[in-house]
Amino acid sequence: MAIYLEMPELDKEFPFRILVNDGDILTTPHWHREVELIYVTKGTISLGIDDVPYKLSEGEIAFIGGGLIHYVLASPGSERLVYQFDLNYFTAGNKENLDLQKMFADLIPVSPQWKPEDEAAVRSLLENMNHEALDQRTGYQFSLKAELFALITRLLRTIPKKAKQSKKLNKLATQDVLEKLDGIFSYVEAHYQEEVTLQDIAEVSGYSSFYFTKFFKKNTGKTFLTFLNEYRIDKAKWLLINSDLPVSEIITQTGFESDKTFYRLFKGSMAMAPLEYRNTMKIE
């Protein structure tokens, strides 16, 4: 799975699913266009959303808008339900012309920071959806859709906004563009520890270097070199919070040829040194 893009396999007729993950399942930093909610049903989990670490206990919820980078650390003894749905299904013909991706990205993402009655209401909706999905009684999909509309309304109307806007909100492209980007990102995932040239990645995409440069900038908002450096930095961040490797080894493992370049890019991205980031982001 590429660090940046995950493409959940959802039913095209009804793009929604519920997964059960135990605490041994960790997810490296990734994003997807689908909205995701994580409901902790057992124990405690540690996760990060938009470079902010959180710890959630049984009964608590994380809400992750489409396009936000997030991860879940290994949390032994825990269990969580993961709800994913494609917002486009529910906004077709939306006359309010709301930018729901932006609105959702700016909401406070964890339920301990919501009002207790809002946390309880969202928890009830999630539990009802899970029961409907498990029982699959006649008309269960109608019930699921009704619960999802109620959930979206509740989130929009009652969940407070963050004091600071999200730093990284990945553009939600069309399905064919996402599939093309997925191939590009997957190649980077397999080769980021090596030298990756513009010509290499253009050949993988099936475009000329000139057309690839235009395609990539148009659909990601950044040059490929900027993306590659950010990708390697994000890999380094993951190793900093999920391992005890020395920084010198992390630099080698993430494909940077120069320590100076790594430190410059890391500080430019996070406004702090790598070890300071490790101490800040690790959740005890």
| Confidence band of 164 (pLDDT split at 50, 70, 90) | confident
Q: How many domains does the chain have?
A: 2
23 and 149 co-located in one domain:
yes
Residue 127 lies in a domain: yes
Average pLDDT over residues 170-181: 74
- Please tell me the predicted confidence (pLDDT) of residue 165: 67
244 and 139 co-located in one domain:
no
SS (H, E, C) the chain: CCCCECCCCCCCCCCEEEEEEECCCCEEEEECCCEEEEEEEECEEEEEECCEEEEEECCCEEEECCCCCEEECCCCCCEEEEEEECHHHHHCCCCCCCCHHHHHHCECCEHHHCCHHHHHHHHHHHHHHHHHHHHCCCCHHHHHHHHHHHHHHHHHHHCCECCCCCCCCCCCCCHHHHHHHHHHHHHHHHHCCCCCCHHHHHHHHCCCHHHHHHHHHHHHCCCHHHHHHHHHHHHHHHHHHHCCCCHHHHHHHCCCCCHHHHHHHHHHHHCCCHHHHHHHHCCC
Q: Phi/psi of residue 184, each to 5°? A: -65, -50
Residue 137 lies in a domain: yes
Q: Is the pLDDT of residue 97 over 60?
A: no
- The last residue of one of the domains, among 158, 192, 210, is 158
Residue 11 lies in a domain: no
Residue 198 lies in a domain: yes
Residue 62 lies in a domain: yes
Looking at per-residue pLDDT, the higher value among 99 and 70 belongs to 70
183 and 54 co-located in one domain:
no
Q: Model confidence over 266-282: pLDDT tens digits?
A: 999 889 999 999 998 87
Lowest mean pLDDT among 98-102, 115-119, 157-161, 178-182: 98-102
Angle between helices 259-270 and 274-281 (to 10 degrees): 50
21 and 145 co-located in one domain:
yes
Residue 7 lies in a domain: no
Nearest to 89 by CA among 5, 152, 26: 152
Looking at per-residue pLDDT, the higher value among 238 and 99 belongs to 238
189 and 128 co-located in one domain:
no
- Please tell me the predicted confidence (pLDDT) of residue 90: 78
Q: Is the pLDDT of residue 83 over 90?
A: yes
Q: Is the pLDDT of residue 63 over 70?
A: yes
Residue 167 lies in a domain: no
- The last residue of one of the domains, among 158, 193, 223, is 158
Question: Are 23 and 55 contacting, i.e. CB atoms less than 8 angstroms apart?
Answer: no
63 and 197 co-located in one domain:
no
Query: What CATH number does residue 267 fall under?
Result: 1.10.10.60
Alpha-carbon Rg for the chain, nearest whole angstrom, is 20
Look up residue 266 and give its two tokens: 């890391």
Nearest to 205 by CA among 224, 222, 192: 224
- Cα separation, 263 vs 188, whole angstroms: 21
Expressed as residue numbers, the domain containing 238 is: 175-281
Burial-class residue 157 by CB neighbours within 10 Å (0-12, 13-18, 19+).
exposed
203 and 254 co-located in one domain:
yes
- The last residue of one of the domains, among 158, 192, 223, is 158
- Cα separation, 10 vs 16, whole angstroms: 6
Q: Is the pLDDT of residue 1 over 50?
A: no
Lowest mean pLDDT among 30-34, 97-101, 133-137, 253-257: 97-101
| Confidence band of 147 (pLDDT split at 50, 70, 90) | very high
Query: What CATH number does residue 35 fall under?
Result: 2.60.120.280
Lowest mean pLDDT among 138-147, 177-186, 210-219: 177-186
152 and 242 co-located in one domain:
no
Q: Model confidence over 230-244: pLDDT tens digits?
A: 999 989 998 998 889
- Percentage of the chain lying above the pLDDT 90 cut: 60
Residue 71 lies in a domain: yes
229 and 137 co-located in one domain:
no
134 and 199 co-located in one domain:
no
Average pLDDT over residues 197-224: 91
151 and 188 co-located in one domain:
no
126 and 25 co-located in one domain:
yes
